Amino acid sequence: MKGSRIKPLVSAITLALALTACGSEETEDKATQGATKPAKAVEQVAAKQADNPFFKPYDTFFGMPDFAKIKEEHYLPAFKEGIKQQRAEIDAIANNTDEPTFANTIEAMEFSGNLVSKVASVFYNLTGADTTDKLQELSKEVSPMLSSLNDDIYLNDKLFQRVKSVYERRNALNLNTAQTRLLENSYKSFTRGGANLNEADKEKLRDLNAQIGKLNLKFGDNLLAETNAFEMVIDNKEDLAGLPDDVIASAANMATKRGHEGKWVFTTSRPSITPFLTYADNRELREKIYKGYIERGNNDNANDNKETLAKIAALRAERAQLMGYKTHADFVLEERTAKTADNVYKLLNRIWPAALAQAKAEAADIQKMIDADGGKFKVAAWDWWYYSDKIRVAKYSFNEQQTRPYFSLENTLKGVFYTANRLYGITVKERTDLPKYNEEVRTWEVYDKNDELMAVFMGDYFIRDSKRGGAWMNSYRQQYNMNGVDSKPIIVNVLNYPRPAEGEPALLTFDEASTLFHEFGHALHGMLSKVNYRSQAGTSVPRDYVEFPSQVMENWMTQPEVLAQFAKHYKTGEVIPQELVNKIQAASKFNQGFATVEYMAATLLDLDWHTLTDTKPQDAAAFETASVKKMGLIGEIAPRYRSTYFSHIFAGGYSAGYYSYIWSDILGADAFEAFKENGIFDKATAEAFMGTVLSQGGSEDPMKLYKEFRGKEAGIEPLLRSRGLLAQ
């Protein structure tokens, strides 16, 4: 996912871990925990459950969530009942007097928690894609309930002893690969969840989890408030000089929506700020919106995030040390393919010198253009996009706006589906009558190469205030085949494209179209999954591996054979001229010093925060300044995410893991070499990639699967070459 991404919700056993280390404060109604209720009260509860869509199978096509019937008041009762049910299921497993076996302990846990998972899959999808004030408030109540459930499972000593008993006999159980991995991951989930701690330390862990969970939510709420609060209102048309017509039209629509009729509004959302920084001639306004973006959460107001993030980092360090790890990064990376922070630093340090040198050369080129234009100022961060685009135009006679007419959303979707069909035999059929959570959502039936219905795919493409920023894939139901249930996936892609003017098509830049291919790569990972266990389905893989299939998918968009199928002028139908394609390819390595350094600076900042051993909160501003100075970042570039709005690591699941994008990009660049060697639509290569990567999910060691596909470990050279960072 580009920007940010929700980790797919899996079985309720791992649910709370997937929900960003929620707190453990107990908020469940004590009356639901075993007390005897009067008959009338029981009847009232039964009546309420009968009206709640979560308490019965969805009476819809493909068992899709019945969005029209699901109301805000349904979530809390369903969560409470789901938690109650799973507690009972877990108690039954823990108190089973039969000898612990893989079936009655490990699989029994895997099969538990169906109701809470069902509710959570809808709730957390909507809090990201179509939230309301009520859902935001509910998340504060629900998250500690789920974390408490998680703690009660993984700190249950009787349950752990059963798991441990099975684990210690694992070599004699004749388990297959997926079963062995499920057993090993179950055991590690307990040990990493504090099962080996004494009672006092278990209580300490609960308290730390609760504090961190509350602070995670606070960080996210503060950032959302800061992002929504900023608007740059322009009432002088001359201040729009340089901006493309479609960007101006989008700003006018935003102004109308925000009550500034007849004016233009720009916000800190990427589709708004990026074109403004790239094309607006007014340097003062570029500076204003840039600073509005990078100072989010750093304004010493009620939504300031400095103290919050410093506490999160300190508490994470304390929790890691309680668990026997030196740092939070050591704790996290044990479960990633990178394994250690040292390995990540070593990788980044192989790339950083070449990227930084290239970025400095790019900055020098920008300064030359400023000087040549008679500018009396030194290049600043808010100048980079503007002047680099001018250099791109001068050097390649190309800017991204030239690509918009050829990448309508409709045509790009056709290109995505065409590519999936050629590679994996997938076909799609759009449906307009299926359940949806917002009228803008589009839905397709997805058929496999044997014309069997294999999935439902949902697409949600336009910006709205109820949607968080970024682009991501998630699932409303994952693929699995367990306990007699053959579950087929319901997958969603969520993006944030500017909404076109009434009656006009949505036109994408080349980069925006590439994001569509990227996110559909995640979708394919979810839809082509063929595993038995829900916790191993699709994208349920290590964080630093999950971006790999999506990074690979981006490569097909740039291939002439694919472009000829979909990159057509929205008015004339003319295929994108080869001359423009040549310019796109020639310019693809342009400004890669900036792009790589901007990203890697955020990655290094993340690692610095999470390799802290000091359990006292740091001065956030001073810490970031020291981190940036240590890495040698030039002043013309800021980290892609500064600490106070780095939601990936302080409100999401990427703490000590933001490096994952470049780690996966290395795999992606290397893997696509196999397709280039054998033919981009070579059936044998596609079948091998689907069989060893896309279909296996987390059922096997991902790096073993990669080597099985590629026949070797991934090399770094294809990535450096693709970014123009490898000496010729």
Q: What is the pLDDT of residue 12?
A: 36
- The answer, yes or no, to whether residue 31 has pLDDT greater than 60, is no
Q: Residue 472 pairs with which residues in a beta bridge?
A: 494
- Annotated domain spans of the chain: 15-191, 230-294
3-state secondary structure 152-199: HHHCCHHHHHHHHHHHHCHHHCCCCHHHHHHHHHHHHHHHHCCCCCCH
Q: What is the pLDDT of residue 47?
A: 58
Q: What is the pLDDT of residue 45?
A: 58
Say if residues 216 and 651 touch (Cβ distance below 8 Å). Answer: yes
CA distances, 701 to each of 536, 693, 704 (Å): 11, 10, 5
Helix (H/G/I), strand (E/B), else coil: 323:
coil
For the chain, what percent of residues have pLDDT higher than 70? 93
Q: What is the pLDDT of residue 690?
A: 97
Alpha helices in 193-282 (DSSP H): 199-229, 245-257, 270-279
Instruction: Write the DSSP symbol of residue 657.
Output: T
Q: What is the pLDDT of residue 587?
A: 85
- The Cα–Cα gap between 81 and 85 comes to 6
Q: Mind giving me the DSSP string for 135-158?
A: HHHHHHHHHHHHHHHHHHHHT-HH
- The answer, yes or no, to whether residue 344 has pLDDT greater than 50, is yes
Burial annotation 64-98 (CB, 10 A radius, 16+ → b, else e):
bbbbeebeeebbbbbbbbbbbbbbebbeebbebee
Looking at residue 554, its amino acid is E
With left for phi above 0 and alpha for psi between -120 and 50, is residue 79 left, alpha or beta?
alpha
- The answer, yes or no, to whether residue 24 has pLDDT greater than 70, is no
Window from 351-355, 378-382, 445-449 with minimum mean pLDDT: 351-355
Q: What is the pLDDT of residues 346-362, one digit of tens each?
A: 999 999 999 999 999 99
Q: What is the pLDDT of residue 501?
A: 85
Average pLDDT over residues 424-452: 97
- Mean residue pLDDT across the chain: 91
Instruction: Write the DSSP symbol of residue 691.
Output: I
Confidence of residue 569 (pLDDT cuts 50, 70, 90): very high
Say if residues 473 and 516 touch (Cβ distance below 8 Å). Answer: no
Q: What is the pLDDT of residues 189-240, one digit of tens each?
A: 999 999 999 999 999 999 999 999 999 999 999 998 999 999 999 999 999 9
CA distances, 232 to each of 244, 255, 307, 457, 468 (Å): 17, 10, 27, 36, 19
Confidence of residue 43 (pLDDT cuts 50, 70, 90): low
More confident of the two residues 158 and 585: 158
Window from 308-322, 406-420, 613-627, 714-728 with minimum mean pLDDT: 714-728
- The answer, yes or no, to whether residue 413 has pLDDT greater than 90, is yes
Q: What is the pLDDT of residues 612-668, one digit of tens each?
A: 999 999 999 999 999 999 999 999 999 999 999 999 999 988 999 999 989 999 999
Window from 3-7, 411-415, 573-577, 627-631 with minimum mean pLDDT: 3-7
- The Cα–Cα gap between 287 and 292 comes to 8
- Annotation marks residue 624 as catalytic: no
Instruction: Write the DSSP symbol of residue 715.
Output: P
Q: What is the pLDDT of residues 58-105, one digit of tens each?
A: 999 999 999 999 999 999 999 999 999 999 999 999 999 999 999 999
Confidence of residue 7 (pLDDT cuts 50, 70, 90): very low
**Which residue is catalytic, options 25, 226, 519, 624?**
519
Confidence of residue 39 (pLDDT cuts 50, 70, 90): low
- The answer, yes or no, to whether residue 398 has pLDDT greater than 60, is yes
Average pLDDT over residues 121-148: 94
Residue 636's contacts (CB-CB under 8 Å, 6 or more residues apart) are 363, 366, 379, 380, 381, 383, 384
- The answer, yes or no, to whether residue 255 has pLDDT greater than 60, is yes
Q: What is the pLDDT of residue 35?
A: 36
Q: What is the pLDDT of residue 15?
A: 36
Q: For domain 15-191, is the CATH number 1.10.1370.40? A: yes
Q: What is the pLDDT of residue 5?
A: 33
- The answer, yes or no, to whether residue 597 has pLDDT greater than 60, is yes
Confidence of residue 50 (pLDDT cuts 50, 70, 90): confident
More confident of the two residues 29 and 653: 653
Biggest CA–CA distance in the chain, Å, is 85
- The Cα–Cα gap between 14 and 544 comes to 18
Q: At what angle do helices 245-257 and 270-279 cross, to 10 degrees?
A: 140
